[in-house]
């Protein structure tokens, strides 16, 4: 079998007698949109970690703040930013498979 018989995206790995082993080489280039969605997802997760740390530090310090409002609002913001980050990362990875 000559090299002209190879299909696009395949590469010959080994040739032993009459046996050939082929591996499918997929093009896994990311588009700008996928890269931006992935980076936005990482950024949102980093923001959620910073908010969580701020809530913990504010809770430890003896400040005159409403603790129920602090922990409630902090929890909501952390959950929203983590979920937004995970959604962006999932969208970036799902677009790659298409």
- The mean pLDDT of 21-29, rounded to a whole number, is 59
Strand partners, 22: 12
pTM of the shown model: 0.65
Q: How far apart are CA 97 and CA 30, in angstroms?
A: 10
8 DSSP 8-state letter: T
The average pLDDT across 40-66 equals 93
Higher pLDDT, 95 or 42: 42
Q: Which residue reads 């995206």 in tokens?
A: 9
65 exposure class (CB count in 10 Å sphere: 0-12, 13-18, 19+)? exposed
Question: Picking from 7-16, 28-37, 66-75, which range would have the lowest pLDDT averaged per residue?
Answer: 7-16
**E strand spans, the chain:** 10-16, 19-24
Range with top average pLDDT, 2-6, 7-11, 82-86, 90-94 = 82-86
Identify the pLDDT of residue 65.
86
Q: What is the pLDDT of residue 30?
A: 73
Alpha-carbon distance of 52 to 50, in angstroms, equals 5
């Amino acid at each position: 079998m000559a090299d002209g018989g190879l299909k696009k995206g395949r590469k010959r790995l080994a040739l032993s007698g009459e046996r050939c082993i082929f591996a499918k080489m997929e093009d896994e280039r990311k588009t700008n949109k996928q890269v931006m969605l992935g980076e936005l997802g990482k950024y949102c997760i980093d923001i959620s970690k910073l908010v969580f740390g701020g809530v913990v530090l504010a809770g430890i310090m003896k400040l005159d703040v409403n603790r129920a409002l602090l922990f409630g609002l902090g929890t909501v913001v952390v959950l929203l930013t983590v979920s937004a980050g995970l959604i962006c990362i999932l969208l970036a990875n799902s677009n790659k498979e298409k």
